[in-house]
Amino acid sequence: MSSGSQDDHVFKALAHPRRRELLDQLKDTPKTTGMLCEAFPDMDRCTVMLHLKVLEEADLVVPRREGRERWNHLNALPIKHIHDRWISQYATHALSIIDGLKSELDG
């Protein structure tokens, strides 16, 4: 899969607030699908699974089977790639503009 196509999957996955909440749940420790369902009582299991599928397609969640349980692990590398490719470059540019404005105001 090309880098641009993978970026599209990551942006799509991160666009939905519930998927971001699911990633927040996995930030500190992997969780089973059942644990994630318990954390979101307003969503049925099928909806949680659909969100997890989108996160898997973006490689943000890596599932591991252990017996009957499916453990969901966060993979933050695609987010780091988005940060490195998009956010950091634009942030650096914005900071240089702000620094220039500050110099003009102080000057």
**Structurally, how many domains does the chain consist of?**
1
**Which residue from 13, 10, 82 is spatially nearest to 50, judged by alpha carbons?**
13
CA 51 to chain CA mean position, Å: 12
The domain in which residue 65 lies consists of 3-76
CB atoms within 10 A of CB 22: 25
In a domain, 16, yes or no: yes
62 located within any domain? yes
Report field, pTM of the whole predicted structure over 0.95: no
Whether 105 is in a domain gets the answer no
We report the CATH number of the domain holding residue 18 as 1.10.10.10
Contacts 24+ apart (CB under 8 A), 32-37: 32/69, 32/70, 32/71, 32/72, 33/69, 33/70, 33/72, 34/69, 36/72
Is position 41 within any domain? Answer: yes
pLDDT along the chain (107 residues), means of 10: 80 97 98 98 98 98 96 96 82 73 79
pLDDT confidence of residue 96: 75
